Amino acid sequence: MKRKNILKFVSLLGISSFVALAVASCTQAISMIPNSELKPTQGVDNSELTTAKASLTNLLNTKNTNVGMYADYAKIQNTLQTAYASAEQVLQNSSATLTQVKDATSTLQKEIDKAVEDKNNFDESHRDLLMAYAGLKTTISQKQAKINSLGLSNASYSAILNKVNTSYNQAEQIIANTLDPINGSSPTTQAIAQAIKGIQDNTNQQTLKPFKDNADMFSSYQFYKLDSSKLTNVDSTHMMQAPSNYSLVGYSVGLDNVNYSFATRTVWNIQTPPVRLTESASANGEGETNKPLTDVSWIYSLAGTGAKYTLKFTYYGPSTGYLYFPYKLVKQADGTNVGLQYKLNDATQPTLITFGNQTNASGPTPTVDSINVAKVMIPNLAFGENTIEFSVPTTKVAPMIGNMYFSSNQNSQTTIYDQIFGNTQSTTGNSTTVSVDFLKGYGLAAGWSTVFGQYTGTGLMLDNQNVQNQSYYLIRFVGGTDARALMNESSLHNVIKTPQVTMDQKTARTYTFYVNAPKTGDYYVSGIYISGTQNDDQHNRWLQFTNTTSTENSILKIKTPGNGTNQTDGNWTTKLVTFDSSNTNNGVVTEPATTKTLKLNAGLNKIVVTGVDGKADGYAPDFGNLKFTLMNPSTPNA
């Protein structure tokens, strides 16, 4: 019933009315319902971006290989590294668009291709340079093997090794700058050839040999005898020649008003009165060119504006070396004001040499009656020529300075001590002996009369054996008080008769020397003497040895019988005799009789010798050629 009514209603409206209604309804807006699952265009974009990034990543993965190809082309390599860095920034940017990624890839590829092209162009126009550069790289690649073959591992060759390394370093710097530097120009073939030649020259065994020989010498020591011509600008109050009546020129008592700056030990003959020998006198009295009998000398003063002593030497050892020299005071009053300094090469300021108990001191505080040995560490030595100038700080007074010894080895001290003090150490079986050559070694007299006498020539006998072709140098005028007579005294220059003992100082005229003992122990003493006195208790002379560095068994007294039968027939010129405190069968007498040895400590021992008080007015015989032999523990001290 209802359906019929509807149809009837529709029909009544008419077709035109229905159409109008339909048109009206079409004029309303149509709303779209969003659907997030349907994005076909965006999906395509993401896929392309992922692909583009993968391509860029692959290209970036060639960085190490490509950049490494240009290790010898710094400018090309730097440009390529910059391009890789820019591309990496794009890849790491999460907001980068497809276009940006593609552009970064394209730009990087162009730089890679350009690097290949630039390298090819450079190589094409620098063929000679490439060949030289390759040769330099080959030379450098063989560096370690070459250095190993040179035998420079010893510490004494460190400066030579440094010179070799420097030549390699200069070559390595060329390689570090590369063929095509970022700044500056390319190396020249001449520069490369020079670098290769520098390496070849500095690694040539024949070139290195004199350097190594020099370093070997300094690893022990080199001796530099004092030379008066190298002492300059001394003031006028110290310009006199050393007293011509002096022999030993070093004294254990103070000297006042010294008017000279330099003195050299001299040797005298044994005639009466004795005459000083010329420097070139040989053993048989004939001239022997440029061979002094002794090298012992002292610098007494460095007083004066600009006064200095200059030491020059050629040196190829390590950059730090050690300078040794004996020193003492002229007089005790100088002790509170002593000073010394040195200047090395072109140093603008001198370096102070300190003496005392400080940890950096070069030696003990100097005294008058002892000889100490300075050990001065000298850093920053040049490879080649070196100059050391010694001077005195303002208001100070220099100590006396002896011959100089230079070593690159800080452990050369024992050997140098032996040289300074004329010691020779020897070991034969169980026997250990130290021989003392007074003529060569530094020592101190207590009176000006003490002199070195040369025994040689026709009729000379030693223990009744003819030794006329040999020479013996004995110390004379030790002990007693008589002064040595001078021949033609008026013709001598700058005669100074001090120091001089007084009549009541019978044993004050001593001689001081040093024994560098290898071991602590009791040592027998032997040597040569001559005593032309009458052989009886009243006239027989004695030698008294005192070790001032030891408190135990520190004095040894030995009788040295005269060779005359009366007071007038003694022979002081040709009858030499040996003595040995260990030999109880040759009439050797010691006092006390049970004491045959002298205790020595390991290292330097200061020995003072004189006559014996109450024996022959304190006079000692002429004596020398001393030997100290370590007593075997199994040998009785009797």
Confidence of residue 638 (pLDDT cuts 50, 70, 90): very low
Position 132 scores a pLDDT of 98
- Given a contact cutoff of 8 angstroms between Cβ atoms, the answer to whether 604 and 515 are in contact is yes
Q: What is the DSSP string of 430-452?
A: TEEEEEE-TTTS--EESSTT-EE
Distances (CA, A) of 164 to 146, 167, 519: 10, 5, 43
Half-sphere exposure of 390 (CA within 13 A, CB side): 25
Q: What is the pTM of this model?
A: 0.86
Confidence of residue 44 (pLDDT cuts 50, 70, 90): low
What are 578's two structure tokens? 């040996």
Among 23-27, 109-113, 168-172, 175-179, the range scoring the smallest mean pLDDT is: 23-27
Confidence of residue 115 (pLDDT cuts 50, 70, 90): very high
Position 41 scores a pLDDT of 53
Mean pLDDT across the stretch 531-536? 93
Confidence of residue 637 (pLDDT cuts 50, 70, 90): very low
Position 31 scores a pLDDT of 45
pLDDT of 23 above 60: no
Please tell me what DSSP assigns to residue 340: E
Percent of the chain with pLDDT over 90: 84
Render the burial of 380-417: b for 16+ CB within 10 Å, e for the rest.
ebebeebebbbbbeeebbbbbbbbbbbbbbeebbebbb
Mean pLDDT across the stretch 323-341? 97
pLDDT of 551 above 90: no
Mean pLDDT across the stretch 610-625? 97
C-alpha 626/C-alpha 15 separation (Å) is 161
| Tens of pLDDT, residues 588-617 | 799 999 999 999 999 999 999 999 999 999
Mean pLDDT across the stretch 354-362? 92
pLDDT of 570 above 60: yes
Position 278 scores a pLDDT of 73
| Tens of pLDDT, residues 311-321 | 999 999 999 99
C-alpha 521/C-alpha 432 separation (Å) is 11
C-alpha 336/C-alpha 389 separation (Å) is 23
pLDDT of 7 above 90: no
Position 13 scores a pLDDT of 42
Mean pLDDT across the stretch 515-536? 96
Among 188-192, 343-347, 567-571, the range scoring the smallest mean pLDDT is: 567-571
Position 292 scores a pLDDT of 83
| Tens of pLDDT, residues 444-478 | 999 999 999 999 999 999 999 999 999 999 999 99
Query: What sections of 450-588 are H helices per DSSP?
Result: none
Mean pLDDT across the stretch 248-258? 96
- β-pairing verdict for 340-344 and 351-353: antiparallel
Among 381, 416, 324, smallest CA distance to 158 is for 381
pLDDT of 231 above 90: yes
pLDDT of 398 above 80: yes
| Tens of pLDDT, residues 478-520 | 999 999 999 989 889 999 999 999 989 999 999 999 999 999 9
Distances (CA, A) of 241 to 228, 246, 249, 399, 488: 11, 11, 12, 19, 18
pLDDT of 634 above 90: no
Position 114 scores a pLDDT of 97
The pLDDT mean for the chain works out to: 91
What are 350's two structure tokens? 């001198």
CB within 8 Å of 109: residues ≥ 6 apart: 59
C-alpha 453/C-alpha 622 separation (Å) is 8
pLDDT of 142 above 80: yes
C-alpha 439/C-alpha 437 separation (Å) is 5
C-alpha 606/C-alpha 328 separation (Å) is 14
Distances (CA, A) of 251 to 355, 407, 500, 509, 585: 20, 28, 11, 10, 37
Position 20 scores a pLDDT of 43
Position 553 scores a pLDDT of 76
Determine the straight-line distance between the first and last CA of the chain, rounded to whole angstroms. Answer: 169
Helix (H) or strand (E) holding 401: strand 400-401
Please tell me what DSSP assigns to residue 367: -
E strand residue ranges, 479-613 = 511-517, 521-530, 541-547, 555-560, 575-580, 590-591, 597-600, 603-610
Confidence of residue 218 (pLDDT cuts 50, 70, 90): very high
Mean pLDDT across the stretch 112-138? 98
Percent of the chain with pLDDT over 70: 90
pLDDT of 86 above 80: yes
Higher pLDDT, 530 or 25: 530
Mean pLDDT across the stretch 571-599? 90
